[in-house]
Amino acid sequence: MTDFRSACEAILRKNDRGAYTVPSPRLYPHQWAWDSAFAVIGWTHVDPKRALTELQTLMAGQWRDGRVPHIQFHLESADYFPGPDFWETASRTPRTSTITQPPVWATAARRLVEVAGPSPEIAALVPAFDASHRFFHAMRDPLGWGAVAIVHPWESGLDNCPAWDVPMARIDITNPPPFRRKDTEVVGDASMRPTEDDYKRYAVLVKEIAKDDFGAGNFAVYDPLMTAILARAETDLAWIAAQHDVASETRAGERATALEAALVENLWDDDVGRFVYYDVGSRERITADVIGCYVPLWCRGAVDADKRGRLLEGLRERYLTSAWPVPSTAPAEPTFDPRRYWRGPTWININWLLVDALGEELAKRTVELVRTSGFREYFHPETGEGLGGEDFMWTAALALDLVERGFG
């Protein structure tokens, strides 16, 4: 296992750019928000000081309204589209994207504190974490539900998840802005990536958001994964604040309770026995059976024994039947595609989020998958074949965390 630990560490070091870690050297050559938070978890086990630096760099990119941009472009690169010019942020905050990502940074900071202990530097980050969470309440809740709506598929972290198909189909792509994508040049096999039409819609939305003064644009979908991750992050922020005797600086604990209640009230669907998405544009629920529907297991407060039982049953019947779970879309769904990005492949960060609920068996199988197929971006849920980008950082960082927790 020492060899495997060293291999995980080697990936972190290969992707290390000094004060931040890139997700994959050529495919994603900048700092991504949730990837960077997962890097913090990996660095925690290798070099806690470096983990702290990662967190500080991530939070230093925060906008005045609290948003943590999903990409910070520290260096030029010809390898990635869209770059800073396309996002049009020069007038506001140069060299960042305009949307955010699932807020796992306070959760990552908690892991660092659990392993390395409290520190004045972490205490100093509490106001930044707090503002980043309040941003969602202020700017990502168009119907005032107390839950989180995303405004771009990239904001969800699950870019081409089938949950976005219906609202994305309404985006007009007859006249998209000119662009040239780079991802298919780097990955080579286009069948693993989003389609051309997906990319046109992503590009149109980026421009709509810029036109809306970096507000919501014309796409909003309430997302159970995003809401659950924020609820858990609020709980973790309250814990961090208490550990550092600065509990009075944040109302994160109260917000966590309110988010969990809102999640159940607005996004639980008793007919299908899982959480669902909600399309603000059409005022309709989206019941695609995708992995985000089950991620509320990650914040226990939202899930009483009955719901927990139904979610676990759904996972057992429709997801854990794969040889290398957990597929990102239920294999029985008509949209399931085992090789295409978030429409079927198994992802290590999703497994990591579900390990608390699903336990040791999934944790061990996840480490085995990485040991067998390498540090790839995602994996075929039946054959285990590694797919997408190579030397993928969060695959290493989170596999290392599972090993450190005794699941090797």
Catalytic residues: 159, 377
User: With CB under 6 A, what is the number of residues at the site for ligand 9WN?
Assistant: 10
- The residue (of 35 and 279) whose beta carbon lies closer to ligand 9WN is 35
Shortest reach from residue 97's CB to ligand 9WN, in Å: 8
Length reported for the chain: 408
DSSP state of 131: H
Shortest reach from residue 280's CB to ligand 9WN, in Å: 21
**DSSP assignment of 225-256, as one string?**
HHHHHHHHHHHHHHHHHHHTT-GGG--HHHHH
- The residue (of 301 and 374) whose beta carbon lies closer to ligand 9WN is 374
* Distance separating alpha carbons of residues 133 and 135, to the nearest angstrom: 5
Assess contact for 362 and 406: CB atoms under 8 A.
no
**DSSP assignment of 169-194, as one string?**
HTS--SSPPP----HHHHH--GGGS-
Shortest reach from residue 195's CB to ligand 9WN, in Å: 13
- The residue (of 241 and 370) whose beta carbon lies closer to ligand 9WN is 370
Q: Which residue is nearest to ligand 9WN (CB)?
A: 23
Shortest reach from residue 35's CB to ligand 9WN, in Å: 5
Binding to ligand 9WN by CB under 6 A, coded x per residue (else -) over 171-200, reads: ------------x-----------------
* Distance separating alpha carbons of residues 318 and 312, to the nearest angstrom: 10
Pick one of 105, 135, 154, 379: the residue that binds ligand 9WN (CB under 6 A).
Answer: 154
Q: Among 218, 211, 103, which Cα is nearest to 151's? A: 218
How many angstroms separate the Cα of 294 from the Cα of each of 195, 258, 269, 333? 26, 19, 12, 15
- Binding region for ligand 9WN (CB under 6 A) out of 54-62, 88-96, 153-161, 331-339: 153-161
Virtual torsion, Cα 141, 146, 150, 156, nearest 10 deg: 160
Assess contact for 310 and 161: CB atoms under 8 A.
no
Q: Among 355, 402, 347, which Cα is nearest to 159's? A: 347
- The residue (of 159 and 260) whose beta carbon lies closer to ligand 9WN is 159
Shortest reach from residue 265's CB to ligand 9WN, in Å: 28
Shortest reach from residue 118's CB to ligand 9WN, in Å: 29
Tokens of 245: 């005797």
Binding to ligand 9WN by CB under 6 A, coded x per residue (else -) over 5-44, reads: ------------------x----x---x-xx---------
- The residue (of 154 and 352) whose beta carbon lies closer to ligand 9WN is 154
Binding to ligand 9WN by CB under 6 A, coded x per residue (else -) over 68-87, reads: --x-----------------
In angstroms, what is the C-alpha Rg of the chain?
19
* Distance separating alpha carbons of residues 321 and 81, to the nearest angstrom: 36
* Distance separating alpha carbons of residues 160 and 141, to the nearest angstrom: 22
Tokens of 333: 């769904």
Shortest reach from residue 159's CB to ligand 9WN, in Å: 4
Binding to ligand 9WN by CB under 6 A, coded x per residue (else -) over 276-295, reads: --------------------
Shortest reach from residue 83's CB to ligand 9WN, in Å: 11
* Distance separating alpha carbons of residues 375 and 390, to the nearest angstrom: 6
How many angstroms separate the Cα of 168 from the Cα of each of 173, 241, 257, 341? 10, 39, 31, 17
- The residue (of 157 and 327) whose beta carbon lies closer to ligand 9WN is 157
- The residue (of 104 and 358) whose beta carbon lies closer to ligand 9WN is 104
Q: Is 319 in the site for ligand 9WN (CB under 6 A)?
A: no
- The residue (of 113 and 230) whose beta carbon lies closer to ligand 9WN is 230
Pick one of 9, 16, 130, 159: the residue that binds ligand 9WN (CB under 6 A).
Answer: 159
- Residue recorded with tokens 């226990």: 300
Which residues in this chain contact ligand 9WN in the complex, by CB under 6 A? Answer: 23, 28, 32, 34-35, 70, 154, 157, 159, 183
